[in-house]
Amino acid sequence: MIDLTGKAALVTGGSRGIGRAISLRLAAQGADVAFSYHGNTLAADEVRAEIERLGRRALPVQADVADPEAADRLVKATLDAFGRIDILVNNAGITRDDLVMRMSLDAWRDVIDTNLSGAFYTVKAAMRPMLKARGGRIINITSVSGQAGQMGQANYSAAKAGLIGLTKALAREVASRGITANAVAPGFVLTELTRDLPDALKDELTKRTPLGRFGTVEEIANAVAFLASDEAAFITGQVLAVDGGLVMM
């Protein structure tokens, strides 16, 4: 059984969807969990209450990781509360979909700033305490869109592909200090966003997935919990696809 007792985790974008499931799964395995949220205080309070019901400490922090100063404050708040960061999960992300011909510069910048630069800022802020502790787990949530590309998502696909490159570069840089860096690449997952997709599109996406269904947020959280654990101590620089076989590389 995965045991994260005594560990402190920081999850960006941890109040809804995949991030919420990750926050709760890490807490269920014994970790204290800090998580950032953008603006939904009610959702953040609900996650905090659920973590505390699991007997773990919770720290919701309102922060936009696209702002490097906010990322610094987020890491500092986590260190002040827990004294350490053993697990960092970069999950915060947005979409601003459009075809390249019609995509605005703001839509490009916003997605790159949040999904890619935000992860860089948070990693950079957490790196010194992790290096000092000579250990840690960095897990970046990428996407099948970053592996295979997706029409209408040039910004999102570029950011998620960039996360894969960031993950592999980090893995090489920090391995000598006992820190691992890996990525999880979800496929089509049931969330608040995908539940509202037209049935015809859901059917098409299901047909494209060899296992014949959407994934669940809990299945993504399972993969993250494994990579955060001692059982994954010899795994680094890898992209774990949790996509029902959609992208086979």
Q: Which residues of the chain have pLDDT under 70?
A: 193, 249
* CA-based nearest residue to 225, from 81, 60, 16, 18: 18
Share of residues in the chain with pLDDT > 90 (%): 85
pLDDT of residue 249: 64
Helix (H, G, I), strand (E, B), or coil: what is residue 178? coil
156, 182, 191, 244: which one is catalytic?
Answer: 156
d(CA 247, CA 147): 8
Distances (CA, A) of 76 to 1, 63, 82: 31, 12, 10
pLDDT of residue 1: 81
pLDDT of residue 21: 98
pLDDT of residue 150: 83
Neighbours of 206 (CB within 10 A): 14
Q: What are 201's two structure tokens?
A: 């599109």
Q: Yes or no: say if 185 and 227 are a contact pair by the CB < 8 Å rule.
A: no
Please state the separation of Cα 63 from the chain's center in Å: 15
pTM (two decimals)? 0.95
Q: Yes or no: say if 144 and 241 are a contact pair by the CB < 8 Å rule.
A: yes
Q: Yes or no: say if 157 and 145 are a contact pair by the CB < 8 Å rule.
A: yes
Is 121 noted as a catalytic residue in this protein? no
d(CA 7, CA 26): 9
Distances (CA, A) of 233 to 25, 96, 107: 19, 36, 38
